[in-house]
Amino acid sequence: MSNYVRFEYAGKSAYGVLDGDRVGELSSGLFEALEATGRQFPLNDVKLLAPCVPQKIFAVGLNYKSHLNGRPEPANPEIFYKPVTSLQNPNDPIRIPIQAEDVHFEGELVIVIGKQLRYADRQQAAAGVFGVTCGNDVSDRNWQRGPGADKQWWRAKGCDTFAPLGPVIVTDLDYSDLPLRTRVNGEVLQETRTSDLIFDVPSVISFISNWVTLMPGDLIYTGTPGNTRKMKPGDLVEVEIDGIGKLSNPVTAD
């Protein structure tokens, strides 16, 4: 099991391995031959970035029964895109956009793809997972399904900073039954286990790969449980998954 990070030091970014309170720099990206440069940095001396830079970000809607709220269970995974520009680093702010009225958190397990996948069966899909991390599928409910709803979720789900990610990518972790909690200002507002997903990780990956080729580094936000609520500037949102860690982001006005 390894904890991979992407970090900034002295104005330059690199990938590294987190071991306790130290980061060991890697000479390349995560999906190449992993070689250490030998340089070590105290964790407090670096800025953690979103732990990978994907070509594509997918997300799954309505993937916990507790989040359906009376809506029918979908026959297939309900997939949508989030733009790469929506990524946000750990500890950096979720910025509520001008004119946004009802921006909610959505704590989620996020899958990082490790190899090219096309027409993958369940076994191939499971083998194609590089690792897992924490994510927050930030969503404006008014633009999503309220009086101001757009026909597509391009801004409801895709505004800048609407995809916080991190802090680490953990490999070789059994992610099938992990406790997940979302806190706002210390109050637990979402709590579930990843075993409660309607469509598990191999099913989601296999389904997507029938139509869109998945590439190393691509992300899949797997869905959020229970109920969510409106965030406001000054809030602190934390998504914590046992075995991975805690993704923390303050909320500000844009």
State the residue range of the domain holding 37: 1-49
Query: Are the C-beta atoms of residues 222 and 111 closer than 8 Å to each other?
Result: yes
Identity at 210, one-letter amino acid code:
N
Please give the pLDDT value at position 13. 98
Task: Give the confidence band of 155 by pLDDT, cuts at 50, 70, 90.
Answer: very high
168 and 64 housed in the same domain: yes
Percentage with pLDDT > 70 across the chain: 100
Range name among 66-70, 148-152, 195-199, 234-238 with the lowest pLDDT average? 66-70
AA identity, residue 237: V
- The pLDDT value given to residue 71: 87
pLDDT score at 54: 98
Question: Whole-model pTM?
Answer: 0.97
3-class secondary-structure state, position 195: helix
Supply 169's token pair: 């990518």
Q: How far is CA 98 from CA 159, 213, 250, in A?
A: 11, 35, 17
Determine the pLDDT at residue 79.
98
Integer Cα distance of 133 and 220 in angstroms:
10
Residue 127 to residues 21, 122, 145, Cα–Cα distance (Å): 30, 9, 36
CATH code of the domain in which 168 resides: 3.90.850.10
pLDDT category at 69 given cuts 50, 70, 90 is: confident
From 10, 25, 49, give the residue that closes a domain: 49
Distance of alpha carbon 35 from alpha carbon 28, whole angstroms = 7
**What is the residue-averaged pLDDT of the chain?**
97
Q: Are residue 13 and residue 135 in the same domain, yes or no? A: no
How much is the pLDDT for 23? 98
Q: How far from the centroid of its chain's Cα atoms is residue 143's Cα?
A: 21
- Judge if 117 and 176 occupy the same domain: yes
* pLDDT band at residue 70 under the 50/70/90 scheme: confident
- Split into its structural domains, the chain has a count of 2
